[in-house]
Amino acid sequence: MRALFFRDLALALRAGGGFGLGLAFFLIVVVLVPFSVGPQSALLTQIAPGVLWLGALLACLLSLDRLLAVDWEDGALDLLATSPLPLEGIVAVKAAAHWVTTGLPLVLAAPVLGVLLNLAPSGYGVLVFSLALGTPALSMIGAFGAALTVGIKRGGLLLSLLVLPLYVPTLIFGAEAARRAAEGLDPVTPLLLLAGITLAVLAAMPFAAGAVLRVNLR
């Protein structure tokens, strides 16, 4: 398990691994929003939490189609399936590696980019916390979607369509928590719901993904 985790990290960080793709996309989206909205700092402050959350979500989505497809194409997935590791564990570990290389950089970059959107000072802490709480769910749901579409040529479109509805609850409660904090309201309720969604996803999705993968490998 640990070997698989560190292999995925090494692969992501080496040339051609796609590390930084999600981060660059997040950066571009957030930098471009003030230009498209115009120089109205009050409006920017109002939409900042939502834009940051949406940018992070789309950046997460961008790298999902490579999550299992690479291992499928070079045959490593078949070999992993015959190894002592359970498929559920393989998917969970790959989702964890995806989060560390994609979700975690987004969490760390979000406060910096918040400045560009004139985010209210009271919102920074909860924004980072809500992203840290919500992005693991995005990676795990994404791994489930990747397991569903593995083996399909150019499955990225189908993957996005399957995964987007599952992303909605996380987006709603994550953005809501950040917005409430930015407006000086109490963000605890949406944060609790966000944590609940993430925990449920982490508990259930590896098994769903493992079952789906077992069918898809046939």
Partner 1 sequence: MELTVTDLAVGRGGVPVLAGVSFVLGPGRALVLRGPNGSGKTTLLRTVAGLQVPMAGTVVGAEDRIAYAAHADGLKAALTVAENLRFWASVFGQSEIAPALAAFDLEDLVDRPAGRLSAGQKRRLGLARLMVTGRDVWVLDEPTVSLDAASVALFADAVRAHLARGGAALMATHIDLGIEAETLDVSGFRAAAARMDAADEAFL
Of 24-32, 74-82, 142-150, 190-198, the segment contacting partner 1 by CB under 8 A is 74-82
| CA 163 and chain centroid, separation | 11
Binding to partner 1 by residue 212, rule CB under 8 A?
Answer: no
> How far are the Cα atoms of 71, 81, 92 from residue 75, in angstroms, in the given order?
6, 10, 19
The residues, ordered by sequence, that sit 6+ positions from 146 with a Cβ below 8 Å of its Cβ are 64, 65, 67, 68, 69, 159, 209
Q: Is 39 in the site for partner 1 (CB under 8 A)?
A: no
- Give the helix ranges, DSSP H, for the chain: 2-13, 21-37, 41-62, 66-73, 76-81, 87-98, 104-116, 124-149, 156-182, 188-216
Q: Which amino acid is at 119?
A: L
Q: Between 13 and 199, whose beta carbon lies closer to partner 1?
A: 13
Please pick, from the candidates 28, 41, 74, 157, the single residue that binds partner 1 as defined by CB under 8 A.
74
CB of 174 to partner 1, least distance (A): 33
If binding is defined by CB under 8 A, does position 20 make contact with partner 1? no
Q: Is 7 in the site for partner 1 (CB under 8 A)?
A: yes
Which of the residues 76 through 135 are near partner 1 (CB under 8 A)?
76-85
- Closest CB to partner 1 among 85 and 185? 85
Cβ proximity to partner 1: between 7 and 172 the closer is 7
Which C-beta is closer to partner 1: that of 36 or that of 82?
82
Closer to partner 1 by CB, 3 or 42: give it: 3
Cα torsion angle, 203, 65, 145, 209, sign: negative
Residues 180/190, Cβ–Cβ less than 8 Å: yes
In the bound complex, what is the minimum distance in angstroms from residue 61's beta carbon to partner 1?
24
Candidate residues 15, 38, 39, 165; the one interacting with partner 1 per rule CB under 8 A: 15
Q: What torsion do the CA atoms of 84, 90, 93, 95 make, to the nearest 10 degrees?
A: 180
CB 209 within 8 A of CB 88: yes
Site for partner 1 contains 67 (CB under 8 A): no
Q: Point out which residues bind partner 1 (CB under 8 A).
A: 2-4, 7, 10-11, 14-17, 71, 73-85, 217-218
